[in-house]
């Protein structure tokens, strides 16, 4: 019987199959093969429902938070308290690109700002780079209806700083979702709203990953990663004059040409320079 891993605690997997949650170990053979099931994995259960015996091929894998088969990462940032940060947003977008997972941006706490011009500026920057931006207020419910649709029939993961309103967004998506989280968490053997581990919460034909918070400092990005995976740079980096171009001082750089032509916003390139200055080299450089 097939199922999906929706939780993991102390080596015991919670597998959802045909509407029932089974709490199972994985057979020892996985360790010998270097395979370890994670949340989001589609798995095969043996005939007596006592063990996971196989893991199906993954379509995607995220190391932090550890989860497989994501369809999208939803990057959650607040407009106020804490203030919106281009620097962090581009860092998380680069991380999503490195893992080949589509990303969308959700801006929360609309009720805490009246600076509509700044909101439009943020949206224009990321729309120009090919990213959808949604603006919501968990308090007034403004913008929530549009956001609800992006979760349907997908496995999604909310990522963002502590305090930006990820948990509030989950509860605002559905008036009864707070109760649903409690019931589902109880079935997984944990208390309500406890997010020490990643779990999948069912929603509209898909799942939303409820994950432990993690700092942007936990994301290890090298200069070479940024040069390749920074938003929109994938369209240019292979055609730069130097194959290991960092898009800073190298001649005949197509990224800098795109910046001059207005195809890349200046604020995006400034964020890239800052991120690159913070990163280290992956390998020894030479021209």
Query: 94 with 142, same domain?
Result: yes
Give the pair of three-digit tokens for residue 181.
């989280």
pLDDT at position 257 is 95
pLDDT at position 201 is 87
Query: 101 with 12, same domain?
Result: no
Query: 99 with 236, same domain?
Result: no
Whether 275 and 230 have beta carbons less than 8 Å apart is answered as: yes
Query: 173 with 224, same domain?
Result: no
Per-10-residue mean pLDDT of the chain, 287 residues long, equals 91 90 83 80 89 91 89 93 92 94 95 91 96 93 91 91 80 63 47 60 88 62 94 92 93 95 96 94 63
What is the count of structural domains for the chain?
3
286 domain-assigned: no
pLDDT at position 181 is 44
* Residue showing tokens 């057979």: 27
CATH code of residue 196: 3.40.50.300
Q: What is the DSSP string of 239-266?
A: GSSSTT--SSS-TT-HHHHHHHHTSS-H
Alpha-carbon dihedral angle through residues 152, 153, 157, 162, given to the nearest 10 degrees: 20
CATH code of residue 257: 1.10.40.50
Give the pair of three-digit tokens for residue 30.
């996985």
112 domain-assigned: yes
Quick one: residue 232, left, alpha or beta (phi over 0 = left, psi -120 to 50 = alpha)?
left
Boundaries of domain holding 37: 2-57
CATH code of residue 9: 2.40.50.140
Whether 39 and 6 have beta carbons less than 8 Å apart is answered as: yes
Contacts of residue 278, defined as CB under 8 A and 6 or more positions apart, other chains included, come to: none
Query: 22 with 105, same domain?
Result: no
What's the half-sphere exposure (Cβ side, CA atoms, 13 Å) at 18?
A: 5
């Amino acid at each position: 019987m097939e199922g999906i891993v929706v939780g993991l605690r102390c080596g015991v997997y919670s597998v959802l199959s045909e509407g029932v949650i089974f709490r199972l170990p994985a057979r020892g053979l996985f360790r010998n093969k270097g395979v370890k099931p994670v949340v989001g994995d589609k798995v095969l259960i043996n005939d007596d429902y006592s063990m996971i015996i196989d893991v199906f091929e993954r379509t995607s894998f995220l190391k932090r938070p550890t989860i497989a088969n994501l369809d999208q990462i939803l990057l959650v940032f607040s407009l106020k308290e804490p203030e919106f940060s281009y620097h962090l947003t581009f860092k998380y977008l680069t991380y999503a690109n490195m893992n080949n997972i589509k990303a969308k941006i959700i801006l929360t706490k609309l009720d805490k700002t009246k600076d509509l011009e700044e909101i439009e500026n943020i949206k224009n920057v990321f729309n120009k780079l090919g990213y959808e931006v949604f603006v919501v207020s968990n308090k007034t419910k403004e913008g929530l209806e549009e956001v609800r649709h992006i979760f349907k029939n997908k496995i999604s993961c909310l990522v963002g700083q502590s305090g930006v309103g990820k948990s509030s967004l989950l509860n605002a998506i559905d008036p009864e979702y707070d109760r649903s989280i409690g019931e589902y968490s109880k079935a997984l053997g944990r208390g309500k709203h406890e997010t020490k581990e990643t779990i999948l919460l069912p929603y509209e034909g898909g799942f939303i990953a409820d994950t432990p918070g993690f700092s942007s400092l936990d994301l290890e990005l090298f200069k070479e990663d940024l040069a390749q995976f920074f938003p929109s740079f994938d369209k240019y980096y292979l055609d730069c004059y130097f194959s290991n171009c960092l898009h800073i001082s190298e001649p005949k750089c197509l990224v800098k040409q795109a910046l001059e032509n207005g195809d890349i916003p200046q604020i995006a390139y400034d964020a890239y320079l800052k991120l690159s200055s913070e990163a280290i080299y992956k390998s020894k450089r030479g021209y």
